[in-house]
Structure 1
Amino acid sequence: MAQAVTRTARDRTVHRHGPRLAHSAQVGDRADGIPGWLDERLRAGTFEVRRIPFGEMVKWRIDPDTGNLVHDSGRFFSVEGLTVRGDSGTTWSQPIINQPETGVLGILVKEIDGVLQFLMQAKMEPGNIGLFQLGPTVQATRSNYTGVHRGRPTPYIEYFVGERRGEVLTDVLQSEQGDSFLRKRNRNMVVEITEDIEVRDDYRWLTLGEIHQLLAVDNLVNMDARTVLSSLPFPPGDEDAAPHSDTEILSWLAGIKTRHEREVVTLPLARIEDWRRTPAEIARSDGRHLRVLAVSVQAGNREVTSWTQPLLAAQSQGIAAFVVRRTAGEPQVLVQGLTQPGTFDVAEMAPTVQCVTDGWHDLPEKPPYLDYVLAVPDDRVHYSALLSEEGGRFYRRDNRYLVVEADETLGDDPPDAYRWLGLSQLKRFTGYSNHVDVEARTLIACLQSLWDKEPLWARG
């Protein structure tokens, strides 16, 4: 009954706001000026990020008993060890970010001159490629917006968690990277206001159409903005286009969770096997997976203007891709049920291909559909861009995101870990926590940017 009520409420939200969002996606001519504006915000202050040895971190330390990287306050996050015992008997250890608090990722929207506009932020993060990227209105951990850092208040947070909160268009807890975070979630919100507000120097109103144009630019729209955008209540397509019912998909995902239960146990970072520690980094002996390093940051526009912290760095660039196919109603998307060590509930729906930790060139075993995606001709590639992952925890980590169209050679009978979903159906699952992983949500935002721009996405 609760799910039926939730579905009805969401349908009302889609019916009311879907056409307004679709209209906003069709208008706007200011996107070309945003890269220059981000450069101007970079020049307007003092910004510097440099790598440092762990011993030079301030307010961070290596715990003498565990080797974990921890903050003196006991808040924010820590880098700990994790050991994973899979159901196939495989066992490995790795560093993991443990950040038990839930942050807020929120976008304010307001109707201006008859068009819904989104208040986007020129957001500086130490791990960003280019330092500044386009972020949501609010991008803050709970420690940040409750003032643990003793810095300036988080702008506009009162419209999301305070008494001035506007009308909620979407509000859902969503996971972050399951290969790097231990059961980490953020609150993804879109809130509409009607009052006039002061627009600070690091913020701009943009239409959805302008944001969609910017999603095609490498390393410009940040991960936090993309995950919030994926949950927008767009108008549904042909509901009958889905080859499986929601109940069948939930049963399929539950089966994967049951079959692939893992024993995941935290342990002292000093005890993880096959990892070497130097004064400046922690890395695997074979050079695979992620490295842990430390940086010193100067950022004149942040709530705190200087700090040090650890970050995780990828060893190579990865790939995340959706394979889609045409139907008489709306596109269908091939997803996989993917298990990762830090995932909140064992498995989530993920892109057709997701090789984002070790890249894809030297994988010991190629995942299904990787060769297919890499060999797709250009006329079947509908989206391709390099997009950065969260710059507050990752150091210059980006991945190639692709949307490719299937041809007749792909076949209609995928392996058991894969299912075809209707695009509207997949969108619907983003309204529930812990069903769609963050890489898939990025690709959903990219699909939305193509929604009315190509014949592939024509509905009805």
Structure 2
Amino acid sequence: MADVFPATAPPLGPPDRQSAMRTAARLAESALAVEGVATGDREFRDWYAGRVRDDVAEVRRIALDRLSGWRAEPGTGNLVHDSGRFFSVEGLAAEDVDGGSPGWEQPVIRQPEIGILGLVAKEFGGVLHFLMQAKNEPGNHNGVQLSPTVQATRSNYSRVHRGASVPYVEFFQQAGRHHVLADSLQSEQGSWFVGKRNRNIVVEVGREVEVEAGESFRWLTLGQIHRLLAEDDVINMDARSVLACLPFGGAGEGAPASTAVLRSCVEETGALHPTGEILSWLAGLRAGSGLAVRRVPLDEVRGWKRTEECVAHEDGRFFRVIGVDVRAAGREVRQWTQPLIEPVAQGVVAFLVAEIGGVVHALVNARTQAGLIDKVELAPTVQCVPSNYPRAPYPPQLRFLDEVLEAPAERVRFDSRLSEEGGRFHHAVNRYLIVDWHGDHRIEDDTFRWVALHQLAGLLRHGHYLNIEARSLVACLHSLAGGTRATGTGEEVPAR
């Protein structure tokens, strides 16, 4: 019988497990490198201060009917762009067809395009560095923040705005030519977007990218980035999302494992619940969800009022849709107008964490959000704007809110105020917390489960398991790999 395979067939590559272990070890080494080879700390501070000083945007509120290039669609009142691209603001109606909870209506952003959130990685002096971009988004309340190498919608990088091209985007459009460290489609805020997804991708490059990058870019190790996460409003939401998707899980022999966080990234350390059980629990909740969502005209959204200035809830809660005029020096387009969503107050986003069997677990909440494609994703233990719930009792998903807000300082591992996406939201700031749980871990119910840190990393290799707020907190958890606790001032103290 003739050979089925030709003699010239390429040799088999290394086993996936071996490659994953090597990548995880390199990421751990980068996480422990708090002084960069490509960019030293003092150099970074001088550069960042310069970007904050020079990359200034003037953002002025304007009436919705004064938005240039935007119009209220006849018959619906939906805010749409003249090009038919970018995004639209319209109405959404949600109803529980099983009658388990009351329905509601609200404005929402519809953006069907899949954007790119991409990080370029490169090794300097044997240590992985990541190319971060200083970017001023119109909704950032403090101006410049660090974003991924590329943060762009399809309309942006295909230059619908007729502006300058997006630097480095070709590395993600042709990702197959490079070593891909992470690549998955992930959701954005299910309360403010409907069906929104971005490609979260990290590619490692070699000689095709030089050390010298553009003036808005600098190479940083994970350790440097993690330290900056401890400071208020330095690392933006999109960067946090991509960082969370890095494959920390699987670090084996030879990888540093000096802290509980690093040890808990090793799959062999075990977990309270097998991953298959977690997946089955989530699938059951998704299959059993009775939430039905339909589009409604923005002019007909019940409980909301529209004026020349904004669209707002009748009782002043939740958020407003506002218009802004933007003039910025460091963008592909220097001047534009657009709608933004403006929350009425600061939110709280928190994980309760516990070492169970010596492995760090986070208490996740399977949370239903109308704008998510699968309706249910794993969310933080607490995710809310407390002022939206002025009267007790809290709804079931907020059963741990007081536990988080009243935790003594010695139980708080991470505490920083971080912004959400400044390209669509105006001054949307949440207080991100990671708090030790010292009670009995048997506090689970139908919608709460303890999930090991390595399981969270495994789920993030795929899309639509962790929501954007949970991904931000995973990045914050990884930032504790050096064995410190972090506060929003940038102060780090040894962990217990």
Please give the TM-score of this superposition, normalised by the length of structure 2.
0.86
State which drifts further: 386-395 or 50-59: 50-59
- Distance in 2, Cα, partners of 1:58 & 1:146: 21
Give the conservation status (yes or no) of the 8 Å contact 2:93–2:103. yes
| Residue 447 of structure 1: how far off its partner (Å) | 0.4
Equivalent residue runs for 1:179-190 within 5 Å: 179-190=191-202
Q: Which residue identity lines up with residue 243 of structure 1 in the other structure?
A: L
Quote the residue 2:416 is aligned against: 385
- Distance in 2, Cα, partners of 1:128 & 1:70: 23
1:436 aligns with 2:466: yes
Quote the residue 1:355 is aligned against: 384
Give the conservation status (yes or no) of the 8 Å contact 1:337–1:347. yes
Quote the residue 2:32 is aligned against: 26
When residues 425 and 37 of structure 1 are mapped into structure 2, their CA distance, relative to the original with a 3 A threshold, is same
When residues 359 and 205 of structure 1 are mapped into structure 2, their CA distance, relative to the original with a 3 A threshold, is farther
When residues 325 and 302 of structure 1 are mapped into structure 2, their CA distance, relative to the original with a 3 A threshold, is same
Give the conservation status (yes or no) of the 8 Å contact 1:237–1:329. no
1:451 aligned counterpart, secondary structure: helix
Quote the residue 1:210 is aligned against: 224
Quote the residue 1:3 is aligned against: none
- Distance in 2, Cα, partners of 1:306 & 1:357: 36
When residues 168 and 127 of structure 1 are mapped into structure 2, their CA distance, relative to the original with a 3 A threshold, is same
| Residue 451 of structure 1: how far off its partner (Å) | 1.9
Give the conservation status (yes or no) of the 8 Å contact 2:56–2:143. no
When residues 293 and 418 of structure 1 are mapped into structure 2, their CA distance, relative to the original with a 3 A threshold, is same
Give the conservation status (yes or no) of the 8 Å contact 1:175–1:184. yes
Q: How many residues are aligned here?
A: 448
Quote the residue 1:5 is aligned against: none
| Residue 179 of structure 1: how far off its partner (Å) | 0.3
2:243 aligned counterpart, secondary structure: helix
State which drifts further: 138-147 or 319-328: 319-328
- Distance in 2, Cα, partners of 1:152 & 1:231: 29
Give the conservation status (yes or no) of the 8 Å contact 1:319–1:359. no
1:371 aligns with 2:402: yes
When residues 255 and 163 of structure 1 are mapped into structure 2, their CA distance, relative to the original with a 3 A threshold, is closer
2:428 aligned residue (362, 384, 397): 397
Give the conservation status (yes or no) of the 8 Å contact 1:382–1:405. yes
Q: Deviations over 1:410-443 (max 9, x none)?
A: 4413111111111101111111110000100000
Equivalent residue runs for 1:86-97 within 5 Å: 86=96, 87=98, 88-97=100-109
Give the conservation status (yes or no) of the 8 Å contact 2:269–2:359. no
- Distance in 2, Cα, partners of 1:137 & 1:284: 37
2:337 aligned counterpart, secondary structure: strand
Quote the residue 1:416 is aligned against: 446
Give the conservation status (yes or no) of the 8 Å contact 1:241–1:327. no
Quote the residue 2:53 is aligned against: 43
Q: Deviations over 1:317-353 (max 9, x none)?
A: 1111101111343201111100001011010011011
Structure 1 alignment gaps of length 5 or more: 1-7
Q: Which residue identity lines up with residue 153 of structure 2 in the other structure?
A: T
Q: Which residue identity lines up with residue 389 of structure 1 in the other structure?
A: E
Please give the TM-score of this superposition, normalised by the length of structure 1.
0.93
Q: Which residue identity lines up with residue 61 of structure 1 in the other structure?
A: R
When residues 372 and 363 of structure 1 are mapped into structure 2, their CA distance, relative to the original with a 3 A threshold, is same
Quote the residue 1:250 is aligned against: 279
Quote the residue 2:158 is aligned against: 146
State which drifts further: 211-220 or 444-453: 444-453
- Distance in 2, Cα, partners of 1:399 & 1:9: 42
1:59 aligns with 2:69: yes
Structure 2 alignment gaps of length 5 or more: 1-13, 252-264, 486-493
Give the conservation status (yes or no) of the 8 Å contact 1:81–1:268. yes
- Distance in 1, Cα, partners of 2:413 & 2:72: 46
Q: Deviations over 1:265-292 (max 9, x none)?
A: 0111000011111111100010111110
Q: Which residue identity lines up with residue 60 of structure 1 in the other structure?
A: W
Quote the residue 1:320 is aligned against: 349
Q: Which residue identity lines up with residue 201 of structure 2 in the other structure?
A: M
Identity between Structure 1 and Structure 2 (%): 47
- Distance in 2, Cα, partners of 1:92 & 1:157: 39
State which drifts further: 10-19 or 243-252: 10-19
- Distance in 1, Cα, partners of 2:474 & 2:299: 39
1:153 aligned counterpart, secondary structure: coil
Quote the residue 1:262 is aligned against: 291
Equivalent residue runs for 1:213-292 within 5 Å: 213-234=227-248, 235=251, 236-292=265-321
| Residue 151 of structure 1: how far off its partner (Å) | 0.7
Q: Deviations over 1:378-431 (max 9, x none)?
A: 1010000000000000000010110000112x4413111111111101111111
1:14 aligns with 2:26: no
Q: Which residue identity lines up with residue 285 of structure 2 in the other structure?
A: I
Q: Which residue identity lines up with residue 290 of structure 2 in the other structure?
A: E
- Distance in 1, Cα, partners of 2:16 & 2:76: 46
1:319 aligned counterpart, secondary structure: strand
| Residue 63 of structure 1: how far off its partner (Å) | 1.4
Q: Which residue identity lines up with residue 170 of structure 2 in the other structure?
A: E
Equivalent residue runs for 1:327-342 within 5 Å: 327-342=356-371
| Residue 261 of structure 1: how far off its partner (Å) | 2.5
| Residue 12 of structure 1: how far off its partner (Å) | 4.6
1:331 aligned counterpart, secondary structure: strand
1:425 aligned residue (437, 455, 459): 455
- Distance in 2, Cα, partners of 1:65 & 1:241: 57
| Residue 164 of structure 1: how far off its partner (Å) | 8.2
Give the conservation status (yes or no) of the 8 Å contact 1:62–1:69. yes
Equivalent residue runs for 1:147-162 within 5 Å: 147-162=159-174
When residues 12 and 66 of structure 1 are mapped into structure 2, their CA distance, relative to the original with a 3 A threshold, is farther
- Asked which structure has the greater CA Rg, the reply is 2
2:356 aligned counterpart, secondary structure: coil
| Residue 175 of structure 1: how far off its partner (Å) | 0.4
Give the conservation status (yes or no) of the 8 Å contact 2:175–2:203. no
1:126 aligned residue (134, 138, 146): 138
| Residue 62 of structure 1: how far off its partner (Å) | 1.3
Q: Deviations over 1:200-234 (max 9, x none)?
A: 00000011100000000001100000000001111
Give the conservation status (yes or no) of the 8 Å contact 2:140–2:427. yes
Q: Which residue identity lines up with residue 43 of structure 1 in the other structure?
A: R
| Residue 452 of structure 1: how far off its partner (Å) | 3.2
Give the conservation status (yes or no) of the 8 Å contact 1:336–1:418. yes
State which drifts further: 368-377 or 306-315: 368-377
